[in-house]
Amino acid sequence: MTNAKWKPDGYHTVTPYLTIKGVAKAIEFYKKAFGAQEVHQMPGPEGKIMHAEIRIGDSLIMLADEFPDMPCGKSPQTLGGSPVTVFMYVENVDTVFNQATAAGATVVMEPKDQFWGDRFGNLVDPFGHNWALATHIEDVSPEEMKKREEQFRKQMATSKR
């Protein structure tokens, strides 16, 4: 038995692990789009990357090339999309959003102020992963949030007509 900590230094309790078709290219994209720093890379067979880690801000993200025969080995490109979104708070959502789109991300929703107190936008990276980017701009009380949400729902219902 060792005296190792239950969680290694530098890691948070929850760490996203993305399967990507072309991890090496994805790492370069994440560097340009989000200022990621490469932490670790473990080569695998056939020139693929078996495991890699990048740091964006204070968070680690683990990455692996697609290995379709493994249980979690298929990328969003192979699956036809992903139901998962990586949510990331940044200091200036507009700056990071524009940086990501310039690096090749596809806009889903331009950043705009939201009723819950964030300036928020969505995009998809070139590898099929969804990203939600936000800057917290206002603390909203539960009562105020409920009022704003009701107004938002009314606006949505009206705009669908």
Q: What is the pTM of this model?
A: 0.88
Distance (Å, rounded) from C-alpha 146 to C-alpha 136? 18
What is the full per-residue pLDDT of the chain (161 aa) written as tens digits?
A: 577 888 888 888 899 999 999 999 999 999 999 999 999 999 998 899 999 999 999 999 999 999 988 888 999 999 999 999 999 999 999 999 999 999 999 999 999 999 999 999 999 999 999 999 999 999 999 999 999 999 999 988 888 76
The secondary structure of 42-97 as a DSSP string is: EE-GGG-EEEEEEEETTEEEEEEE--TTSTT---HHHHTS-S-EEEEE-S-HHHHH
Residue-range domains of the chain with CATH: 17-159 (3.10.180.10)
pLDDT value, residue 62: 97
pLDDT value, residue 77: 94
pLDDT value, residue 8: 84
Backbone angles phi, psi at 53, to 5 degrees: -135, 135
